[in-house]
C-alpha cells in the first residue's frame, strides 16, 4: 500500500493523475430521456472543473479525466493520485469512490464545490482536500506532492484573479458525448438571494476572465469540433458593462467564424430591462437562457431578497426576452414562508402563460452555509437531515410556515402532474410561439441527425401516447412558420423527458407513502 502513496525518492518520473467525476443521481436536471434522443450523447455537460485542474498540473504530469456519467471508471488504474470531485448531489457517490480507492492504497484527493463549501465533511475520507478555487492552491499541492510533503487541506482564503486561470484541458474530455461544451467567463454574483450558495463560494463581486482568454477557449473548442457551448457562469450579467463587452466580443467572434457556436447561459431576470443587452445576446447567437424566477409573488421574492425580479411584471420580462428570439428556461421554488397552498395555482398560471417548458420547480431547501440555513436553524425550522443538496427532491430540510409539510409535498407533486399532461405541454408551446421571435441560430446537427432526432421523438415519445398525444403534437406543428419547427421539436423532447422522470419518481413516492401508511397501521395494531 505504501508504495502507491509515494514513489521512491530518487526515481523521479512524471506523476500520473486520474481525475474522476462521480455519477450524478438522476434528477429533473439530468434529462436522461432527452439525451437518449440525441445522437451519440450520454450527458448534458462535461466536468469543466476537472479540465481546469488538469491544466493547472505541471507540464510533465500525465493526466486522465474519467466522467462516470459517460464511461466506466477503472478499478485498478496505474496512477499515483486519484482525484475525485463533486457537487453536493454527488457527495454520496464521491464518498464511496474515495473510500474504495483509498482502501486499495491509492493517494486520494477530494475537491469540487461541496468540498469547497464543507471541507469538514471530508475528514478521514481523503488524503488531501482541495477547498476553494484551485488556481493557486492546486499547483501548491502538486509541488508538495512531488516533494512528498502534501498537506491534508489546501484552502483558498484569498481572491483568485480569473486572468490567472488557464485554458482548460478540453482535449481530455470526450466532448462528443455531451450535449454542451462548457466555458466559464465569470465567478460571483452581485445579488443576495437568501437560499443561494454561489455567493457563499464565489462572493458578490463578479470576477471575469479577459476577452483574450475567452477567445483562446473558444478557438480550442472550435478546434475540437464543439458546436453548442454553455457559459456556465451563475449569472453572466453580474457586471453589466463587462457583460456587454463580452457579448460584443462574442458577436464579432461569431461573425468571423460564420456563427459556428450555438450558445446558452444563466442570467438574472433584470436582463429584460436592457434592450441593448438583449440585442447583443441575439447577435452573439445565444439561443437560450436559464433564469431563476423562483416565484411570482412579490412578498415571497422580497422575503428571499430576490429584488432583481421585482422591476416589473415577470410575464412582461419573459416575453420581452422571447421577442429577441431567446428561449427562457427557468427555476421556481415553492415553500417560501409567504407561500400558502395558493402558491401552486399561481405557479401553474404563470408557467402556462409564459409557455416555459423547462420549468425546474423545487421545494425551498436550506443548503449548508447559506443565510437561509442560518436563519432557519435559529428559528428551529430545520429538519435534521444534512444530506439535502438538491432542491428538486421530493423532500426538504425546511419546516414550512404557510402550510403543512405534507401539503407542500402533495401540492408540488400535483403541480408537476398537471404541467406534464399532453394538453398542457401543447398549450405552453403555443403560448411561447406567440411571443418568440424567429430564432437566430443555425442547427448544430446535420440534416440526417436532425431527422433521426425527430424519428426517435415520434417513435419513442409521441406514438406511445396514443392518438390523443399524436393530435396534441400535430396541433403544435408550426406549418406556417417552419423556422419554429426546431423549437417545437425540442419543446416536446424536453417535456417528455421531464414526464418520463416524473412518472417514475412520483410513482415511487406514492408507493413509499402507501408503504409508510401500511406500516404505521400495522405498528398501530401491535400497540
Q: Smallest distance from the beta carbon of 181 to ligand SF4, in angstroms?
A: 22
Nearest distance, CB of residue 295 and ligand SF4, angstroms:
12
> To the nearest whole angstrom, how small is the minimum distance from the Cβ of residue 30 to ligand SF4?
21
Residue nearer to ligand SF4 on the CB measure, 371 or 400? 371
Which of 111/371 has CB closer to ligand SF4? 371
Q: In this structure, what C-alpha cell is assigned to residue 464?
A: 406511445
Q: Give the Cα-Cα-Cα angle 408, 44, 106 (nearest 5 degrees).
A: 100
Find out whether 186 and 161 touch, Cβ atoms under 8 Å: no
Q: Residue 358 and residue 328: Cα distance in Å, rounded?
A: 8
Closer to ligand SF4 by Cβ: residue 114 or 191: 191
Q: Which is nearer to ligand SF4, 391 or 415 (CB)?
A: 391
Least distance from ligand SF4 to the Cβ atom of residue 375, Å: 16
C-beta of 22 vs 292, nearer to ligand SF4: 292
Grid coordinates belonging to 181 = 461544451
DSSP string, 78-127: --SEEEE---GGGHHHHHHHHHHHHHTT-EEEE-SHHHHH-GGGGTTT-S
Query: What is the spatial distance between Cα 432 and Cα 318, in angstroms, rounded to a whole number?
Result: 10
C-alpha cell at 270: 433584470
Cell of 114: 461541496
Q: How far apart are CA 97 and CA 86, in angstroms?
A: 11
Cβ atoms < 10 Å from Cβ of 105:
12
Please say which residue, 285 or 308, places its beta carbon nearer to ligand SF4: 308
Shortest spacing between CB 236 and ligand SF4, in angstroms: 10
Q: What residue ranges bind ligand SF4 (CB under 6 A)?
A: 189, 191, 193, 196, 198-199, 234-235, 268, 292
Q: Which is nearer to ligand SF4, 49 or 461 (CB)?
A: 49
Smallest gap from residue 191 Cβ to ligand SF4 (A): 4
The C-alpha angle with vertex 350 and arms to 344 and 356, in degrees rounded to 5, equals 110
Nearer to ligand SF4, 182 or 268 (CB): 268
Distances (CA, A) of 521 to 72, 512, 514: 44, 14, 11
Strand partners, 21: 67
DSSP label of 382: B
Start-to-end CA distance of the chain, whole Å, equals 54
User: Which lies closer to ligand SF4 via its Cβ, residue 87 or residue 126?
Assistant: 87
Structure letter (DSSP) for residue 290: E
Q: Which residues contact 113 (CB under 8 A, 6 or more apart)?
A: 49, 86, 87, 88, 201
Amino acid at each position: 500500500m505504501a508504495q502507491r502513496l509515494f514513489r521512491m525518492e530518487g526515481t523521479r518520473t512524471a506523476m500520473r493523475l486520474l481525475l474522476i467525476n462521480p455519477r450524478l443521481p438522476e434528477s429533473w436536471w439530468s434529462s436522461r430521456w432527452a439525451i437518449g434522443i440525441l445522437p451519440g450523447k450520454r450527458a448534458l455537460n462535461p466536468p469543466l472543473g476537472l479540465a481546469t485542474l488538469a491544466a493547472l498540473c505541471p507540464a510533465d504530469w500525465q493526466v486522465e479525466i474519467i466522467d462516470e456519467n459517460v464511461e466506466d471508471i477503472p478499478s485498478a488504474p496505474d496512477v499515483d493520485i486519484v482525484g475525485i470531485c463533486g457537487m453536493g448531489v454527488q457527495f454520496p457517490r464521491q464518498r464511496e469512490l474515495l473510500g474504495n480507492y483509498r482502501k486499495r492504497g491509492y493517494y486520494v484527493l477530494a475537491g469540487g464545490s461541496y468540498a469547497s463549501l464543507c471541507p469538514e465533511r471530508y475528514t478521514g475520507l481523503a488524503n488531501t482536500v482541495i477547498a476553494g478555487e484551485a488556481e493557486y492552491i492546486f499547483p501548491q499541492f502538486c509541488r508538495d506532492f512531488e516533494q512528498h510533503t502534501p498537506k491534508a487541506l489546501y484552502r483558498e482564503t484569498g481572491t483568485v484573479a480569473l486572468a490567472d486561470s488557464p485554458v482548460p484541458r478540453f482535449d481530455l474530455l470526450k466532448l462528443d458525448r455531451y450535449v454542451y461544451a462548457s466555458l466559464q467567463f465569470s465567478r460571483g454574483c452581485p445579488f443576495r438571494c437568501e437560499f443561494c450558495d454561489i455567493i457563499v463560494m464565489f462572493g458578490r463581486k463578479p470576477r471575469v476572465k479577459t476577452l483574450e482568454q475567452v477567445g483562446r477557449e473558444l478557438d480550442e473548442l472550435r478546434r475540437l469540433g464543439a458546436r453548442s457551448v454553455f457559459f456556465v457562469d451563475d449569472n453572466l450579467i453580474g457586471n453589466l458593462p463587462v457583460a456587454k463587452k463580452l457579448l460584443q466580443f462574442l458577436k464579432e467572434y461569431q461573425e468571423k467564424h460564420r456563427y459556428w457556436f450555438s450558445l446558452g447561459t444563466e442570467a438574472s431576470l433584470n436582463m429584460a430591462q436592457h434592450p441593448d443587452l438583449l440585442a447583443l445576446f441575439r447577435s452573439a447567437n445565444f439561443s437560450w437562457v436559464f433564469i431563476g424566477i423562483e416565484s411570482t409573488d412579490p412578498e415571497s421574492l422580497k422575503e428571499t431578497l430576490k429584488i432583481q425580479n421585482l422591476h416589473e411584471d415577470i410575464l412582461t420580462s419573459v416575453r420581452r426576452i422571447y421577442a429577441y428570439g431567446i428561449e427562457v428556461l427557468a427555476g421556481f421554488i415553492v415553500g417560501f414562508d409567504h407561500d400558502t397552498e395558493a402558491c401552486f395555482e399561481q405557479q401553474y398560471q404563470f408557467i402556462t402563460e409564459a409557455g416555459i417548458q423547462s420549468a425546474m420547480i423545487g421545494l425551498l431547501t436550506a443548503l449548508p452555509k447559506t443565510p437561509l440555513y442560518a436563519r432557519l436553524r435559529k428559528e428551529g425550522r430545520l429538519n435534521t437531515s444534512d444530506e439535502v443538496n438538491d432542491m428538486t427532491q421530493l423532500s426538504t430540510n425546511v419546516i414550512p410556515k404557510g402550510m403543512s409539510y405534507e401539503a407542500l409535498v402533495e401540492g408540488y407533486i400535483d403541480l408537476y402532474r398537471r404541467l406534464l399532461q399532453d394538453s398542457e405541454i401543447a398549450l405552453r408551446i403555443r403560448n411561447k410561439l406567440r411571443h418568440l421571435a424567429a430564432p437566430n441560430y443555425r442547427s448544430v446537427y446535420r440534416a440526417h441527425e436532425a431527422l433521426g432526432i425527430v424519428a426517435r421523438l415520434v417513435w419513442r415519445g409521441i406514438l406511445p401516447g396514443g392518438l390523443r398525444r399524436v393530435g396534441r403534437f400535430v396541433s403544435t406543428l408550426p406549418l406556417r412558420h417552419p423556422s419554429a419547427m426546431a423549437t417545437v421539436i425540442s419543446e416536446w423532447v424536453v417535456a417528455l423527458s421531464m414526464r418520463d422522470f416524473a412518472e417514475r419518481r412520483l410513482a415511487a413516492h406514492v408507493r413509499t407513502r402507501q408503504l409508510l401508511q401500511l406500516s404505521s397501521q400495522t405498528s398501530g395494531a401491535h400497540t
